[in-house]
Amino acid sequence: MTTPESPQSTPDRRETVAAAEQDRAARITWSLIAEPSDAVASLACTVLGPTTALELTRHGSPEDLHRALGGQLPAQASEPAPGSSRSRAERAHSRWNARLNTVVLEQILEDAQRRSIRILTPQDDEWPAILDDLQETRPHCLWLQGPGSLDQLAAARCIGLVGSRASTPYGEDTAGSFAAAFAAGGGTVVSGGAYGIDAAAHRGALAADGGATLAILAGGLDRLYPRGNTDLLERIRDRHLLLSEAPPGTAPTRWRFLARNRLIAALSQATVVVEASWRSGALSTARLADQLSRPVGAVPGPITSAASAGCHRLIRERGAVLVTEPADLWDLLPGGPAAGEGSWAVQDELDLLSPADRRVLDGVPPRSSISPARLADEIGFTVREVEAALARLDLLGLVVRTAERVRRARPAA
């Protein structure tokens, strides 16, 4: 049985839906007119809300913007000159309007739909809550392509594997094997789709049975970059997910790569730098992850290799966790299993011996026999102490007693 709606409920609902649609359109528009690194745009949307901030841009003046933001606008390192807070408002208002005059939102949305690119805003169910840790630098919206669900991929165990484009065979092999093992265990490998370590990490995850990987790009999804990785990125798009905060038509640039790195850090529960030179851009991802209180790991390399200098720098200066095998990746994650001593740790019965029994065993010649009395004299024990130790070693199969002498047991073939 349905209950008739009150006369006020339908208009209220329509107003709510209309407000939600305006908010969505405003967020998409902001992604079109403001760079991800635009601190003034982020502040305006945080303080005023995307819709009000956009209306102020369209119909207000720089002075209105300056006043609405309390007269304190953040400076940006990339600006030609810091200037005053008022001059920063003028520059921001001017650059937004310059792009706003060229934006035809309906055409852009139609083009995205034609390319099977969908758009996520923080109000959508698929939006991962983990991105909210970015606070005022949270992206206005995200552009996605692929069958994967971002919230499900982010809800799984996510680890960021990043590194230099100028990688070595050692780094690529490590990234690929780590990613394959992690993905095979049910984790999601997050990286940036670039040459070198990023590509090796994606390929490793794709090779794993049931493995998942997420590529976060710096440019628009309509122009896959780098072109040499087009086949790889198309495989990720067909099986999992490509993501960008840059709208279609956006060219990848250095500052967009650096801004993109914060998304890798935010969507990953931990970040591991596999191979990086002293000034590698991958180190910025590690710093951003550290700022978000995410664990950071680094894979060591040869001390003579410049390609690993950045990893050694992270371990020495920033306290990154030293990662040497895939099991260490799980150890970095919150609630993950302890990695233990690792696969290189080998223990045998000799490690279980007491120091006294080990000394008796060491006194037995490796290729000949010896009497207990002579052995006691050699190691400074009493004959009774030696006999007791030899009895224990005999039970462990480490020595063989023959008449009045003792010898080492031959190792099993």
Residue type, 77: A
CA 137 to chain centre: 18
Chain-centroid distance of CA 258 in Å reads: 14
In whole angstroms, what is the distance from residue 81 CA to residue 378 CA? 82
List the structure tokens of 11: 């208009």
| Bridge partners of residue 162, in order along the sequence | 273
Task: Show the tokens assigned to 362.
Answer: 């060491």
Amino acid at 283: L
Q: Which residue has the tokens 């996520």?
A: 120
Give the pTM.
0.83
SS3 state of residue 134: helix
**pLDDT by residue, tens only, the chain of 413 residues:** 444 555 555 778 888 888 999 999 999 999 999 998 899 999 999 999 999 999 999 999 999 999 999 988 887 766 666 678 899 999 999 999 999 999 999 999 999 999 999 999 999 999 999 999 999 899 999 999 999 999 999 888 999 999 999 999 999 999 999 999 999 999 999 999 999 999 999 999 999 988 899 999 999 999 999 999 999 999 999 999 999 999 999 999 988 999 999 999 999 999 999 999 998 889 999 999 999 999 999 999 999 999 999 999 999 999 999 999 999 999 999 876 555 555 555 566 777 889 999 999 999 998 899 999 999 999 999 999 999 999 999 988 899 988 789 999 887 65
Cα–Cα distance measured from residue 219 to residue 253, given in angstroms and rounded to the nearest whole number: 8
- The DSSP-derived string for 66-94 is HHHTTT-----TTSS----HHHHHHHHHH
